[in-house]
Chains A and B, each alone.
Chain A
Amino acid sequence: MSVLAGKELRIVGFLCNWCSYGGADTAGVARATQPTDLRIVRVPCSGRIDPLFILRALLHGADGVLVSGCHPGDCHYAEGNYYARRRLEILKQFLPVLGIDPRRFEYTWISASEGQRWQLAVTKFTQQIHELGAAPAFENAEKLIQIADMALTALRPLGTGQHAALADLKKAIVEKLPELDCVIGWQQSYDAAHSAPLFMRKPEDVEKLVWGPLNVNNLATYLPQYKGKKVGIVVKGCDSRSVTQLLQEGLINRDDVVVFSMPCEGTLDMARINQALGAYQHIDKVAYDEAGVSITADGKEHRFCMVEYAQGKCYSCATPGAVLADVRLGTPTPVTGTPATPPELALLDSMSLSERFAFWHTQMERCIRCYACRNACPMCVCRDYCVAESRDPHWLTQEDTATEKFFFQTIHALHLAGRCTGCGECQRACPVGIPILALRQQIARAVAQTFEGYRPGMNAKATPPLMGFTVEENNIKEKDWNK
């Protein structure tokens, strides 16, 4: 049983019980004729509507979703619709990057007495969906492969940080070590071309500390596990934003963390480097110079200059020096200009909605649901109780369809809305190289446009935008059904 073929489309309505559901009742009592497509799901408050309900509907066969709550200021629960207004606005700006037409989702405010306004809204919205026609099914999207052009101009000189004050850093760490449980840094892993996180507890551990473009891991992801213990951490600019965001959300205590920082000159994109190196058995030597690194593998030397092989995020990095630090070494590097659109997002911007749908379907088919993207993310603190693998609530099935995997990516992206600092670890950790960072970058762009240029992790005192509200919103305009 489903909608009447040819006459109706699948439109889901989420209405708050106190105002809009009452408004729909008033319209009914007034016998106001309305199209029958829309089926109403009643919720206590528009604040109860998790944007993921809407994505769940849109990705599983809904052609359109309409949300309606009390007018801001009239909420029966005082603040429910203030939070809803921000979350739904960010969701609406998130849909295009997924390949879903934003006109398939609208949110509006209708009070219990506004029967005509409900009739107008449901009629206009149903018309709007019929003009768009049935929504394309994600499972049937055809194949499309596109690759982002990673080379961009950086906002500040990229280098290998060889003349950074590594010795001073080591001395500073040894000094602080006795009062700390451990200090987290980087060390060389199984060969000179790979680094790994280092947990320094004794002075001799500190000797292994390295600093350079191979320090790709964001060490802030380990901090929540050490809550309650005193711990030190060496940070690049992007890592410091993650530390600040953890502080903003109270997931770590400021006086338990000692932050060591040196100005970062960019990190290498190991995926592209391994691509260029191809199969090799042994790394003979890794030599650094001002502009890049030359790696000798199986006797053959390969030259990688930073300008061409840095990670995407390093080009548009505006905080090479740490945003927050207790021990700050080296001279801060000047940053000029405003960040250009990150490469992965620029690729998606260049595509049409249907192309993006196809692009993501092809990418998601390769996903093996290993959740490295989630576990590498410093902001993902739900750790063992992620909704991706739970039965109560049962958001995701264990089926390996592209839709389920794509739905997890939207869950992760929306859970990070206004919190993701763009450190790029999710994409770097993905073993099959799916460019999932673009989804988070689109939300970061929407958050910046909607909340006066807000960027997460820049100010430890700031409240993440979706965790608060203002009564008057400058950049969120109410839907005008008369236009």
Chain B
Amino acid sequence: MSIVYYPGCSAAGTSSDYEKSTQAVCDALGMSFTPLPDWNCCGSTPAHATSTELSAALSVRNLDIAAKMGAEKVATPCPSCLSNLRLAKKRMEKPEFRARVDELLDEASSAELPQTYSVMQLIYEKYGSEFVAHRVQRPLKGLKVACYYGCLMSRPADIMADFGHPENPQVMESLLRACGAEVVEFPLKTECCGASHGIPERQLTANLSGKILETAQNMGIDALVAACPLCQMNLDLRQKQAGKAMGKEFALPVFYYTQMMGMAFGIKLSALGLNKLVVSPEPVLKKWQAALKEGVCE
């Protein structure tokens, strides 16, 4: 069952920490992906804003390479790439659309394109929370966290049907609970953080992210855990702007779930790219290590 890995553009750039921690966690779990050679950008938001055929062509080119390699599945950490690759495959089912996309490509794409999955879903489906718990060496004791999926991970419902209820996914919660953390049910986990509006409409993203941070902070959690490079950037990098917009002081570290899992698996912190987090993760790490030393149990 060969799975091809599609890193996505931000992996090399803004979310290199997400990439490093994802690789680390996958190696720790013995999950082998063959990297996709000569991959190209999935088109992200600008492409499908201009033309669906262009966006599909970009994604289909990647899927076609994977298909020709005989891959059955494509794994990607980034929800935006996930949604583009899946949407493209769905649209290619219509013959007239397929014809228009094939025109843009060098050669006609193969009839059967592989399906794309988020790394989180593959970990959960392949291993499940018991196995993950079994791999934990330094449980995330004493940490009270809330999971935040962002709005793309579980929508649109008909294409992402296998990811759980679009309004109330539970995959990240069960993985983190398996890692020993105290996970709080976060009601705004699928609300939009403002995504790419951070550039043209800075105030809008500030409001939306601000509301998420305010509710999270009110729930008295130690850290917010995200799974999307763009959401993490809006909540972490732009936390001050959001604070200003809400007239509040926010100091809420925003981890990637793979960083948290890496910590639980006992991977060297430096290999998890924690240093890249804007809001310092130190208080969380101190609280965690303190809890580990005293063997404090809830």
Direct chain A–B contact by Cβ atoms under 8 Å: no
Query: Chain A interface (Cβ within 8 Å of chain B)?
Result: none
